[in-house]
Structure 1
Amino acid sequence: MYKRYFPSIFLFLILTICFGIYSIGLKGDFLFDDYPNLQELGTYGTVDNWDKFRAFTSNGFAGPTGRPISLASFIIDANTWPTSPYPFKYTNLMIHLLNGVLLCWATLLLLKNYNYNEKKAIWISLVATAIWLLHPYMVSTTLYIVQRMAQLATLFTLTGIVGYLKARALLNRKPKQAYFYMAAVTITCTLLATYSKENGALLPLLILVIEFCNPNKNYKPIWQWRAIFLWLPSLAILTLMLKYVTFADNPWPNRNFNMVERLYSEARIVTEYLFNLLIPQIELKGLYQDGFEVSRSLTKPITTLYSTFFLLILFISTFILRKKFPLFAISILFFFAAHLMESTVIGLELYFEHRNYTAALFLFLPLASSLYSLKRYINDHLVNFIVIIVLAILSFFTYERAKLWGNTEELQLYWAKISPNSPRAQNSIAEVLLNQGRYQESNQFLEHAIQRMPDSALLNVRLLLQKIYMNIATEQDFVQTAHKIQTQPFDAQAVQALRTLVEYVTLNNKNLNYVKSSLILINTLEKNAQYNHFPLFQRLMPYLKAKIYLAEKKPDQSLKQYQDAIIRYNDVEAGMMMVAELGSVGYPIQALTLLDQVEDIYQKQPKSDLKRSSKEYDSEISRIRTILIKQLQYGEKS
């Protein structure tokens, strides 16, 4: 009886340990991309009806699909903003545990399909799953709230693999049902995974990898079915990715690398991923990877050549050894296939740990299988003891890492200190020092960081912003910063810093010199070579100019910039916000003119693209117009 239920008891114990270890990290705060992705919860008030739900879930910007399934899942935890991060992190942990259960099931089905006997298959499945669940590398995905997107894509990928393998087992008895179920689950789970995060579209390719490495060729799905449901969607993804192939010198103006340099760099990065997965560590550089050294050629740095050669040998060896060592083959090919979208030709940022959450699902199968094979040479109890030691070490590392993630300020300081070449890291240290009241020290720290990284627009704008906070900024500071950012590479973080600066000086416009000097920054930035290639710049700049003119009490010039901004945003919500900004400071004539333009956009916009119902927009526009007319009439009487 005990032996019969032992696998279930072991899995439950591993899940319980995992829950206990991660619990210490649930008290951490929001980080980086959490804010832009979640703050929309408060844009429309409390999300408490279908129209607001649709508005939030259809307004995603993290990827081409908008990732509506992931966004919908966040409403489980909160329906407004600001809010507490704890429920989000708790749900992420529950998804991680559920993924562990699905991984164990998928691995068991896979091993049985590969002709492993049940006892061996169960043992290997449990150990490989335990290693994945308790591995410290998974902490950054689980406790970084916005990476629920990666978790959900993995969840639906695993569901698809489980469903496919379950249906495949019917091929020899009920082939019609088997093909129908395999097709249904593959299509459904691919769509669900893709609309959670785009790399979920790789599910058919991952199933092809499972089939390719399968040493059991009996009752293999017929080639016609594989061609339609596996090969065709996989080739479609590869064809789509070919469109991203470019040999231009500067294909992504907001990146400091081209496509060839990205591929060279990813060779080193993927090798580093493998090293950190197989040789776990407590904490690495985390989210501060913007200082990663780009590979400019195969020999600059020389580790690019070594890494490329290593990965090439590893890839070729899977084909040579797949019949004799199928678990080795699937662990490596599955890892490579899962990285195909995020670690090749698409111009994403270079390095993120969460890209390994799906890729590492079967990576530990060879290790678990090797541990089981030791039973032929040493006592079973000694093998089990070795497994316990391995899991204990992983648990300790994960606990220490989760504990660090539970203290967000300490975590960011740690990342910053070990990432001296990361502008984002140095920006965070300066912010912490400023928040602690160590103003002069914070400025000096930024000045030293700028000496090391003179091309960082983020650090230069941040230093100017801090001087403004302290009311010690001079006109020369503005001029020098403007001169630097005219030629510096600009990214989203630098743009956000500039926006913060403008909003601060216009909200607290006691010093009109700061307001006027801010316009110099905007006009200079528009001369930056990246300007025409960065849509965020193009639509934000006229909006910031409008706020500056508004602070200078120049309503007609402000209106002109607002009108330009509305055209570029082409968004009713953004337009109504601008109308409110004009009207709230006593310029009803200009606000009514702007409202007419917003209404025109509203009338031309497809109803399916609206974030609220037509009835709500009609009512809101009418209400605002009435308020502005009354404001105008009151002003005329007085």
Structure 2
Amino acid sequence: MMQQRHQQILPVATLLLTGLLALWAYWPGLSGGFLFDDLGSLPALGAYGPVTHWDTFWRYITSGTADPTGRPLAMLTFLLDAHDWPANPLPFKRTNLILHLLNGVLLYLLLARLGKFLGIEKRRSSVAASLGCALWLLHPLMVSTTLYVVQREAMLATVCTLAGLLLWLHGRHRLCEGRLKSGMMWSVLGLGGFTLLGTLAKANGALLPLYALLIEIVLLRDRHPVRPHASRRAYRWTMAVLGLLPALALIGYLVKAGAQGLMTGGPVGIRSWSIGQRLLTEPRVLMDYLQLLWLPRPFSSGLFNDQYVASSSWLHPAITLPSTLAVCSLIAVAWWQRRWHPAFALALLFYFAGQLLESTSLPLELYFEHRNYAPALLMFWPLGLWLTDTCRLKIFKVSLVVVLPLILATITHARAEVWGDVRTQGLVWAKINPASPRAQANAAEIEMENDRPLAAINRLEVSLAAHPEQSQLVFNLIDARCMVGGVGMTDTDAARKAMQSTTSTGTLFVRWFEHALPIAISERCPGLDLATLQSFIDAGLHNPRLSAANSQQDLTWLRGRIALAEHQPDVALIEFERALDMQIRPAFALQAAATLGAAGYPPLGLQLLDHYQLVKGNITHAQVSMSMLHEWVLERQNYWQDELARLRATLQTDTTTQYPSVPAANQKHP
């Protein structure tokens, strides 16, 4: 009786201690700030006003653009931390840490369940599950997911994956007992319902059926078949419809994307590499990931991995072919050993299956540490099983059971300290990634914020010499030059060259322009005037890689801003109308008309709105996706109609106030 009670208390106590150790390890990182993609996704919290009532809730929850689904489940959870933007990062990071701990509990339950299927003694199975869970939960590689706020998307998809697998296994167990109705219900809920939920958090949730198939083939089919005839037939249909078909559809989609990329040579103008080069590169990336998992270190490259060089052939770099052979060999060995070493085989196959979406044919960036979060779930379980088999090397193995989690927690604590200090974080990453333009630009910004412009200049000049096409480097360099006296022709020439050759400016150039325009108008920085800004824009407009409608619209919009600054409102109106025609959006029409009105030309703002009314019938509507639903929500709420009417009324009032003697129909600017 006492022994049985002890066996029940031990897992709970172990999980509690592991959780406390994880809290200690991650605590320093909670004081960190928002980073990188956080600043691209989280401002949606305030894009349509504070999320304080149902109208703003529906506008916000449908505003996601990542994946066709928009990831609304992840967006929903951000409301736990803030209802407006800007916001305090602490609540976001705290919620992420809670989710990480929850995933640890779910992982323990899954590993303990899988251990039973291996026929292992219950106590050993429980300890092995605890150790496998602890090594994953405390691993420093998970810091770049847990403390990176926007990667809550990956964490929520993992919650759904683990919960879905547990429910499916519960349903399968009931089917084995002949409970057809309840077994089917739990199986369908686990495989169907939680795949859907996981996909609404991030597309990685769609991998759940593939994970279930691997567990079925490697661990369950031969050892624990579903025997009652009716249950077996129902189970086969369930696995075919909710397991095999979704998995095949996903693999087919990736194959199609790869084939199209190979044929077109894409992604043209988006990345500096082709799909073929990406496919050659990813085996190297996967081997690097495995090295980080099995040889953890206090510091890593973090979020800045743009220096990772794509493979151009099997031998360039030379590690390309060996890495590809190594990945293929690991998969082949795992498949071959599935009968004799099922835990080892399942852990490896699970890992590579988890990398399918982000490390194959989709034109995502080459390398990110957070892509290991879900794939590595089972990675340390085989080690846990080996260490808990104390027939041999008992003292050595028991020592490792205690020491390994403590070592990982210590390394994670050191890494979390870096994540908890934005200044230290930026400088450490810049030192680790000397060839990364993003890391050097980020470090230079930190140095300028700390009144060290000369250090920023030295850093940026070195990086710019190696990456002259990187606009983020040259515009930061101009900022630093302005802090120490002025901009020279060498700097402006470098800026024009970067704008002519960059693959994408994203929102970087627009954001930089917004703070550079007042400086140019006031002539506070010698060498940076309106004509210079105009030359940067013109260089971008002649860059064939910036030919996409959104890039052209942004640059044309900025030409209009310069025309306003030069007191040429008619030219500004022409540029704004031209920009609007490139991509007809009510948000842009509002922004352009409001800008004209704020500059003192409300009649031209009204003309801009009139032009929008003429061309709005040519709006290209979103395809079937969350963006389409977002358009429907805004239309149903008359959001744009009300905003346009409100702005029109304001502009008409301003026009009447400024030009009272001119009939409204004939009002022009002075």
Q: Which band: TM-score by shorter chain?
A: over 0.9
Question: SS state of the match for residue 79, structure 1?
Answer: coil
Task: Give yes or no for contact 2:306–2:436 (8 Å, CA) kept in 1.
Answer: yes
Indicate conservation of the 8 Å contact 1:572/1:601, yes or no: no
Match of 1:523 in 2: 538
Shift of 1:573: 2.9
Tell me what 1:95 maps to: 99
- What is residue 407 of structure 1 aligned with on the other side? 421
Q: 1:124 and 2:128 equivalent?
A: yes
Q: Does the CA-based 8 Å contact 1:295-1:304 persist in structure 2? A: yes
Structure-1 separation of matches of 2:420 and 2:153: 21
CA distance in structure 1 between the aligned counterparts of 2:594 and 2:489, rounded to whole angstroms = 31
| Structure 1 gap ranges (5+) | none
How far apart in 2 are the matches of 1:587 and 1:79? 35
Task: Give the one of 236, 241, 265 matched to 2:249.
Answer: 236
Runs of 5+ consecutive residues of structure 2 not aligned to the other structure: 622-627, 662-670
Aligned equivalents of 2:406, 2:615: Cα separation in 1: 60
Q: Distance in 2 between matches of 1:614 and 1:216?
A: 57
Post-superposition CA distance 1:359-385 (Å, at most 9, x none): 000011111111012x11244x66333
Relative to structure 1, the CA distance from residue 69 to residue 132 in structure 2 (aligned partners, 3 Å threshold; closer, same or farther) is: same
Q: Structure 2: how far apart are the matches of 1:95 and 1:205?
A: 23
Residue 580 (structure 1) aligns with: 594
One-letter amino acid of the structure 2 residue matched with residue 226 of structure 1: M
Aligned length: 632
Task: Please point out which of 50, 59, 62 is paired with 1:58.
Answer: 62
Name the structure 1 match of 2:34.
Answer: 30
- Which runs of structure 2 are paired with 1:593-608 in the superposition (5 Å)? 593-598=607-612
Shift of 1:600: 6.3
1:277/1:516 CA distance change after superposition, 3 Å: same
Contact 1:41 1:81 in 2 (8 A): yes
Structure 1 stretch 415-424 or stretch 108-117: which is displaced more?
Answer: 108-117
**Structure 2 counterpart of 1:276, from 273, 277, 292:** 292
| Partner residue in 1 for 2:468 | 454
Q: Structure 1 residue 404: deviation in Å?
A: 1.2
Partner-residue secondary structure (3-state), 1:26: helix
Partners in 1 of 2:437 and 2:302 — Cα distance?
14
The alpha carbon displacement at 1:571 in A equals: 3.1
**Normalising by structure 2, what TM-score?**
0.90
Residue in 1 that maps onto 2:194: 189
Q: Secondary structure at the match of 2:257?
A: coil
Structure 1 residue 168, shift from structure 2 partner:
0.7
Alignment of 1:227 with 2:234, yes or no, is no
Change (3 A) 1:483 1:391: closer
CA 1:345–1:196 in structure 2 vs 1: closer, same or farther (change >3 Å)?
same
Q: 1:10 aligns with which of 10, 14, 37?
A: 14
Q: Deviations over 1:150-201 (max 9, x none)?
A: 1011111111111111111011221233123212321111111111111211
Task: Indicate the SS of the match to 2:310.
Answer: coil
**Contact conserved, 1:153 with 1:197, CA < 8 A, in 2?**
yes
The corresponding residue for 2:225 is 218
Residues 65 and 601 of structure 1: is their aligned pair in 2 closer, same or farther, counting only changes over 3 Å? farther
Residues 421-459 of structure 1: CA distance to partner in whole angstroms, max 9, x if unpaired?
Answer: 100111112212212222233223211222232333332
Matches of 2:615 and 2:386, distance apart in 1 = 64
CA distance in 2 between partners of 1:329 and 1:56 (Å)? 43
Matches within 5 A, 1:319-358: 319-358=335-374
Counterpart in the other structure of 2:517:
506
User: What percentage of aligned pairs have identical amino acids?
Assistant: 32
CA contact (8 A) 2:46 2:85 kept: yes
Q: Residue by residue, what CA displacement relative to the aligned partner does 1:452-482 show, whole Å, maximum 9, x if unpaired?
A: 3233333223323433565612466434421
Aligned to 1:81: 85
Q: Deviations over 1:565-593 (max 9, x none)?
A: 33444332333222211111111111112
Match of 1:398 in 2: 412
What is the CA RMSD across the aligned residues, in angstroms? 2.2
Deviation of residue 608 (structure 1)?
5.2
Question: What is the match of residue 165 of structure 2?
Answer: 161
Q: Residues 555, 136 of structure 1: CA spacing in aligned structure 2 closer, same or farther, 3 A cutoff?
A: same
Deviations, residues 99-133 of structure 1 (Å, cap 9, x unaligned): 11111111122222343332232121111001111
Q: 1:202 aligns with which of 186, 207, 210?
A: 207
- Partners of 1:456 and 1:526 lie apart in 2 by 16
Give, in whole Å, the separation in 2 of the partners of 1:617 and 1:489. 34
Distance 1:629 1:607 in 2: 33
1:376 corresponds to: 391
Per-residue deviation at 1:516?
2.3
Letter in 2 for 1:634: T
CA positional deviation for 1:351: 0.5
| 1:614 shift after superposition | 3.0
Indicate conservation of the 8 Å contact 2:334/2:344, yes or no.
Answer: yes
Change (3 A) 1:477 1:392: closer
Q: In the alignment, which residue of structure 1 is the partner of 2:648?
A: 625
* 1:152 matches 2:163: no
Q: How far off is 1:232 after superposition?
A: 0.8
Deviation at 1:224, TM superposition (A): 3.0
Whether the 8 Å CA contact 2:62–2:630 is kept in 1: the answer is no
**For 1:519 and 1:551, how far apart are their aligned partners in 2?**
11
> CA contact under 8 A between 2:275 and 2:363: conserved in structure 1?
yes
* Matching residue within 70, 74, 77 for 2:74: 70
Separation in structure 2 between the aligned mates of residue 441 and residue 128 of structure 1, nearest angstrom: 45
- State the shift of 1:530 in Å: 1.0
Q: Which residue of 560, 563, 566 corresponds with 2:580? A: 566
